[in-house]
Chain A
Amino acid sequence: MQFETRTAESTILLGERLAQLLKPGAVVALYGELGSGKTTLIKGVARGLGVREPVRSPSFVIITEYAGRVPVYHIDLYRLNNAEEASAVGLESYLSSDGVCLIEWAERAESLLPAATIRIRLEVIAGGRRIEIEGLAPELMQELKQFG
């Protein structure tokens, strides 16, 4: 399903709504170039999951943990090259936890992602962002769609 957002605020809003549909253990993989809005969308998801503090880019530390209504793991594989390096920083233990994993640059560790991964592709388009979400159960997709 595709969404188009015009502003960072509306990207955050979409993230907040998506958060309502995520269950403990969910893995959300984000794909998109630098500046395509991955961290912005995650700010919204984290807020929707009850995280109160500011969500900062985890590029440097790779994994940041927040306390929401479930543990929220904001993971950024930007500085890693492949699944082996992601494994070396302990990615799998986060993927199999009861928290929600939000993974930027997920393509760097594609082979480690579970089958039920929700995939989000972000793209810069004229006047905003195109955000494509797949992997949500059909009834949840329907719910998200209603938010329009």
Chain B
Amino acid sequence: MLILGIETSCDETAAAVVEDGLSVRSSVVSSQLVHALYGGVVPELAARAHIRMIVPVVEQALREAGIDYAQVELIAVTHAPGLLGALLVGLPFAKGLSFSLNIPFVGVNHIEGHIFALRLEYPQLQPPYLGVVLSGGHTELLFVDDWCKYQELGATVDDACGEAFDKVAKLLGLPYPGGIEIERLALEGRPVIDFPVADAGGLDFSFSGLKTAVLYYLREHPDAHRPDVAASFQVAAVRQITKRVEQAVRQTGMKKVGVSGGVAANRYLRQQLQLLADRLGFELLIPRPQFCTDNAAMIAAAGYERFRRSGPSPFDLPAFARRSFAGSNQQ
């Protein structure tokens, strides 16, 4: 079965063709196309950008997969959570396409997509496993009981993990996106500053206090060695993640931990998680970066499984800016 995946929940307009939920035939993300098509940067956030990009991105995905519209058998589209104006580009587009091609469509939760990024990288992977989604907009710890069946164990109570990286980068005068800049700067420094590792209670996360701690430090030490600040921040942020993962592994007894979302590309995080995996004896699974960051292949993979289990979505499926992730079980 050929599935067309469509993702417009935030900044990226993305489309992909995936065969049988596992084999990626093409995966196009708008940021790769912007320059070629428009010779400049479009305001990346505007829903209008999605409107401009969606047709060229979908057609590029079909072209790269070597198929045309008539061969698509299922459309999978992100319908929650995200920027409402952005979701309201992809979802109606998918519905219209579904209607005109007379093929089914299925709505997918964006975070569920991140979980299926694992399956794209490791087709043999079988739940249960512990899912960790770390991105600019999401920080989630999930018990993946079965494909399409999840239990939220913890989430951020304030800032998302990737957001903390971006905002601290800003405090340090580094360009956006900040994650990679912090990682690079941290390599030149030593983690000599003792920033607090937050405890939000249970398996929840908190990154807002760490941001404030860095702010205070920079105010009190205007001449601080920036690489040391970056390295110290990174240690505190990553330590919070490894601590929660350790707690969750101990509580659930999981032998497999799958980490996805843009922050999973951070090498220091990967290294620390691997050390933890070796110590506790679990298998650490992290997909390649292009599956970790927002993409539509993961949406197609998730949509395929949803469709297999519970059929197509109704045409009145709404978009939700925000949705309790556990709620998607009843979808």
Contact = CB atoms under 8 A, between A and B. Distances in A.
Interface string A30-64: 00011100011000000000000011110111111
Nearest to A37: B212
Nearest to B176: A79
A33 B167 CA distance: 11
Contact of B83 (A35, A55, A62): A62
B46 A88 contact: yes
A51 B175 CA distance: 35
Contacts of A40: 208
B215 A56 contact: no
A4 to B, nearest CB: 16
Interface of B: 10, 43, 45-48, 81-85, 136-138, 156-160, 162-163, 167, 170-171, 208, 211-212, 214-216, 219, 321-322
A24 interface: no
B322 A60 contact: no
A54 B322 CA distance: 12
Contact of A59 (B48, B84, B163): B163
Contacts of A63: 83-84, 321
Interface residues of A, number: 25
A53 to B, nearest CB: 9
Interface in A42-98: 54-57, 59-65, 79-81, 84-85, 88-90
Nearest to A59: B163
A79 B171 contact: no
A59 B159 contact: yes
5 contacts: A59-B159, A61-B137, A62-B45, A85-B45, A90-B47
Given A39-B208, A59-B163, A34 B171 contact: yes
B163 A88 contact: no
Given A61-B321, A89-B47, 16 more contacts: A34-B211, A34-B215, A35-B167, A35-B171, A35-B212, A35-B215, A39-B158, A39-B159, A57-B158, A59-B159, A60-B136, A65-B321, A80-B45, A84-B43, A88-B46, A90-B47
Contacts of B208: 39-40, 57
Contact of B157 (A56, A59, A64, A80): A56
A85 B321 contact: no
B163 A57 contact: yes
A88 B10 CA distance: 13
Contacts of A57: 158-160, 163, 208
Given A56-B158, A63-B84, A89 B211 contact: no
A124 B81 contact: no
